[in-house]
Amino acid sequence: MTQDKSNVYFDDIPSRPAPVTERGIIAWMRENLFRTAFDTILTLGGLTLVIITIVSSIRWAVTGANWYAIIFNFRSFMVGRYEPELEWRVALAAILVMFFAGMAIRVWVNQIARLLLGVIAFLLLMVLVVPQIIYSTIDVPPNYFSVGNITMTSGQDTFSPLPRVSFLAKSGEIVTLQLASEQIKSDDALANLHGFMDLPTRQLWNEAVDRVELIAERNELEDLLARDLTEPIPIFTAEQREYQLEQLERMTIPDPIIEQYDLNNIVVQVNVLDGSTLQPLGEPVTLTSPEDIATFTIPADGWYILEKVQVSPEDTDGIALLTVTGVHPMLRSLSFTNYLETEDGQVIENQFVDTYVRMLDDYRVVRAVPQIDGEEVPFVVITQHQYRGTRDLQTYLRIYAAPFLQRISGGLTILLLVGVAGYGVAYLLQRTRGEKTTSQYSAWYLIALPPVIWILVAGVSVKGVLNISLVLAAVTFVVFIYYIGMAYGRTYQTIATLIIGSFFMMGVPLIVFDGYGYGLLALFNLFIWLPASIGFLAGSSQFGVREIQEIRPMLLITGGIMLVLFLAPAILTTSGILDTNQTYSDWFLRTSNQRNWSGLLLTMMLTIFGIIAAFPLGIGLALGRRSNLPAIKYICVLYIELIRGSPFITVLFFMQLLIPLINADFADIPNSIRALIGVIMFSAAYLAENVRGGLQAIPPGQAEAARALGLSGWQITMFITLPQALRIVIPALVGQFISLFKDTSLVAIVGLIDLTGFVNTMVIQTEFIGTRAEGLFFITLIYFVFSYLMGYVSRLLEASGSGSTRKL
């Protein structure tokens, strides 16, 4: 029996695309943006909000803001008034930090390496390639200069077009001059003028804009008053209507500006002179009609003078507008120079000189403004030759973005490459020495880094070197006593060594040399008995573990180093080889004036050393608070709660107020150091609470087990609970670091010029009055990038489980 299957359809049903509303972008939008009516309204509202915010901020950034304030003050934002001749040390410190940051990333948070590489490549592209593209593709916005014999008044100022202005130009650039014709066709055209313009031109533009606006306002009011009568609900009350009518009467429209000034109806002669020789570059060119173009090619870099005069009719008050290319606004600034040879053979070394900066491309010249008949020819200064009128994206890119990127390109490139190099070195180390060794190395480098940074940035005096030598002697003493304990155990002799040694480390430096600076370092030696005792306990608990022959060389080495470090200052000073009172200004790492610390440098120093110095204090307070001895406990509680209950600003203020009152000599302590002490006191209390949290999180079984093994109280704390607690609180510590980084901005209130404080300084510079928004935007960006990066790394650390005591 055969089955007839001809009526059965065996082919697959033709596949159709999934409905558009169920797959892809539309489905995603349905799911995530427009699920319900409420959702839709939220989405639309949110979208409006985002668009308004983004559009208005971009519009402000592109058309409103004056970013020269940032470009010009970039150095001040970074290091402020730090001594320029010592600046290389700050750069070195930054390079070191980047190098070890690169290493640390390879060692501990390798998972973001690829992302970071992408970011670095993007940044390098931005600072190295983008400015060049912009420079080569976008033209500079036009300049407008005025010519004529007219005298204009604006408020109490009177001014007239300058017959000569000096400017900076580079070899090969072309200066062209032409009568502006398009711009003077009507008042509307004049009001639409945009570009850099000198004072008379700006006055013309202002008047034109005012007139156009007045006409618009009048029309609007007339319209409103007409509607007021026709509409059912009156717009104005009777009183208001009367007032508005009065206003309308007051609005008298002046004659068109073009006619008032009779623009461009004069004959103008222009020429360009060399700044040093005062020889003209060519024959003077007479401009009578818009078709006439004067062109001058600049032969060499340097100063030039633009000469522009009205030739006929001779005695009338005429005025003409010129469109000029190749002349750009400039600024005069004081800058520090290490070595400079002027044209007349003078050598300037290590002093501040007037520098002239062309804002457009940061072209800097130290030579003075050219003079004619003993008088300086006024140069095209940005305060009087400002950008006016609408600004578009291209102008923004050309005059602000590209110069800014170029300004930061050098430093950023080096830092990024150093970071990559650090990453590479760590990678090589891991390949050759193994991961564990590399991780140990990195940890030690990171621990050694802060003192190195401090020495680099702050510098050391002769006195300081001696102090450091004594402190290092004290540190070696701790190691020495550790080995002593390890070799000989707890005997009368070793305990006597501990006590006598500590006494020497404490007392002798104070008594013998009177040179401890502010005694801050001496403070360390005063408390040497504490680490020494801990070291002794730690060492003696390992008594007999290792052969005495193994330990002896270590004993000899540490003892020798200790003696040398301890005795060298004594010998050097008492024999008169080094005079502690001399300043040694050519000293390799001479001290920088800490009053000059400002900008990002100050913010960073306060944050880093605020946390690091607060660490021992914080741990001590946390242990004290958990102590079962009531007196110690409550004193610690009192300190912690007192600080935590009062605002940071009061702590800072208290330090500023109190320190000079403690001792008259302390009045010399610079503000920045007073603030640093305040920061340390403040963050110690918060650190203590964090560490206490960690200590409380350790299961009591740990301490009980340690006790069962026969460890003493100190040993349990030092070797069992504290290390685990510190591991747990790593994320919290990073969080505190971030919040301290932000909180250091409060030093601006007590008069320090940190990143925030500098914005307040910047807005009182005459060139940059009213640029607070730009400054705040820039520093917010810096704060945000640093805090967000640190927070991100902390979250990665948390996720990777580095903080947990036991990896599950």
Partner 1 sequence: MSTANPTAPKQIEITLPKFLRDLRVLQAISQIVFVLAVTTALSILIVSVAQQLQARGAVPNYTFLSLRSGIPLSEAPDWYDVNDTFFDTFTVGIINTLRVVSIGLVLSTILGVFLGIFLLSSNWLIRTISRAYVEILRNSPLLVQLYFWYYVFMLNLPRDETGIPGEGIFVIPLRAPLYIILGVLIWLFYARRTISPPGVLGGVLLGAVGMELIIAVFGYNLALMLILAIIGGAAFFFAERITKNELQVGRIQGIGLLFTLQYLAALGFTLLERIGALSYANATWLEVHPAFFISRSGFISPEFLSTQNTLPWLGISLLGLIIAIGLNNYWRDISERTGRFIPRTTYATLIFLVICGGAWLFFSSQPAPDTVTVGDGEEAVTMPVEQAREEELLTIHQDAKISSAPLVILLPQSERTRFGTRILSGSQISPEYAALLIGLVIYTSAFIGEIVRAGIQAVPYGQIEAARSLGLTMPQTLRLIILPQALRVIIPPMGNQYLNLSKNSSLATAIAFADTYAVGLSIMNTSGQSITGFSIVLLVYLTMSLVISAVMNFVNSRFQLVTR
What is the enclosing helix (H) or strand (E) of 778?
Answer: helix 772-800
CB of 691 to partner 1, least distance (A): 17
Our finding on whether 48 is near partner 1 (CB under 8 A) is: no
Q: Quote the least distance from Cβ 282 to partner 1, whole Å.
A: 49
Alpha helices in 9-153 (DSSP H): 24-32, 37-59, 68-72, 74-78, 87-108, 113-124, 130-137
Q: Which residues of 579-604 are buried (b: 16+ CB within 10 A; e: fewer)?
A: ebeeeeeeeebbbbebebbbbbbbbb
Residue nearer to partner 1 on the CB measure, 504 or 543: 543
Q: Which is nearer to partner 1, 450 or 791 (CB)?
A: 791
Q: Which of 630, 741, 739, 629 is nearest to 689 (CA)?
A: 739
Those residues with Cβ within 8 angstroms of residue 586's Cβ, 6 or more apart along the chain or in another chain: none
For the range 279-283, what are the long-range contacts, defined as Cβ-Cβ under 8 Å and sequence gap of 24 or more?
A: 280/307
Check: CB of residue 785 under 8 Å from CB of residue 739: no
Closest approach of Cβ 490 to partner 1, in Å?
6
The answer to whether the beta carbons of residues 445 and 103 sit under 8 Å apart is yes
Nearest residue (CB) to partner 1, 683 versus 724 = 683
Closer to partner 1 by Cβ: residue 216 or 443:
216
For the bound state, the minimum distance from the C-beta of residue 308 to partner 1, rounded and expressed in Å, comes to 38
Residue of 629, 708, 764, 808 interacting with partner 1 (CB under 8 A) = 629
Select from 658, 697, 705, 769 the one that contacts partner 1 (CB under 8 A).
Answer: 658
Per DSSP (E only), the strands in 288-400 are: 293-297, 302-312, 319-325, 330-341, 347-358, 363-365, 371-372, 375-376, 387-388
The minimum distance between CB 219 and partner 1, in angstroms, equals: 15
Residue of 181, 596, 787, 802 interacting with partner 1 (CB under 8 A): 787
Query: Which position among 143, 745, 762, 803 is part of the footprint of partner 1 (CB under 8 A)?
Result: 745
530 binds partner 1 (CB under 8 A): no
Cα gap 808→797, rounded to integer Å: 15
# of chain residues touching partner 1 (CB under 8 A): 72
Q: Is 663 in the site for partner 1 (CB under 8 A)?
A: yes
Question: Closest separation between CB of residue 494 and partner 1, Å?
Answer: 9
Tell me the closest approach of the beta carbon of residue 631 to partner 1, in angstroms: 4
Confirm or reject binding of residue 43 to partner 1 (CB under 8 A): yes
Tally of CB atoms within 10 A around 791: 15
H/E stretch holding 722 reads helix 722-728
Minimum distance between the CB of residue 641 and partner 1, rounded to whole angstroms? 8
Q: Which stretch binds partner 1 (CB under 8 A): 28-36, 96-104, 424-432, 500-508?
A: 28-36
The answer for residues whose C-beta is within 8 angstroms of residue 498's C-beta and 6 or more apart is 481, 484, 532, 533, 536
Sign of CA dihedral 693, 694, 698, 700: negative
CB of 81 to partner 1, least distance (A): 21
List the interface residues with partner 1, window 546-585 (CB under 8 A): 547-548
How far out from the chain centre does Cα 456 lie? 19
Q: Which of 141, 51, 72, 213 is nearest to 390 (CA)?
A: 141
Whether the Cβ atoms of residue 149 and residue 160 lie closer than 8 Å to each other = yes
Q: Pick one of 13, 577, 631, 764: the residue that binds partner 1 (CB under 8 A).
A: 631
Nearer to partner 1, 438 or 745 (CB): 745
Asked if 499 is part of the footprint of partner 1 (rule: CB under 8 A), the reply reads: no
**What binding mask, one character per residue, do residues 636-655 give for partner 1 by CB under 8 A, x or -?**
------x-xxxxxxx--xx-
Helices 730-743 and 599-626: angle between axes, nearest 10 degrees: 130
Which residues in the 195-254 window bind partner 1 by CB under 8 A?
A: 232-233, 235-236, 240, 243
Q: Give the residue, chosen from 130, 331, 612, 635, that forms a contact with partner 1 under the rule CB under 8 A.
A: 635
Q: Which amino acid is at 360?
A: L
- The answer to the question of residue 595 lying near partner 1 (CB under 8 A) is no
Choose, by CB under 8 A, the member of 9, 339, 492, 588 that binds partner 1. Answer: 492
* Phi/psi at 285 (5° precision): -110, 135
- Piece of the chain touching partner 1 by CB under 8 A; list 153-161, 489-497, 568-576, 798-806: 489-497
